[in-house]
Amino acid sequence: MSIDLPSSVEEQLRRLAAQQGRDVATLVQEALRQYIERAAITDIETDEVAETQAALVGELPDIVEWKANSV
């Protein structure tokens, strides 16, 4: 895949990669991976919100204790 960037963005990426001692391609791949993961997490339809919230509540530890303390 090829991404065309303005020269100013490419220059900033090169500087950041040099500061971190990383390859530009690795830096860009990591940024894209994080973006895609975040988009996948938040990309739900409005009719799925309640179902998604209910599923996520099950993953929270001690939810009963938390609800009791918030009243």
Arithmetic mean of pLDDT, 37-52: 73
Domain ranges (residues) in the chain = 7-70
Q: What is the DSSP letter of 58?
A: T
Q: Give every CB contact of residue 60 below 8 A, 6+ residues apart in sequence.
A: 66
Token duo for residue 69: 């303390």
Q: What is the pTM of this model?
A: 0.47
Query: What was the pLDDT predicted at 19?
Result: 92
Identify which has the larger pLDDT, 7 or 56. Answer: 7
> Percent of the chain having pLDDT more than 70?
68
Q: What does the pLDDT look like over 19-37, one tens digit per residue?
A: 989 998 888 888 888 877 7
Backbone angles phi, psi at 54, to 5 degrees: -60, -40
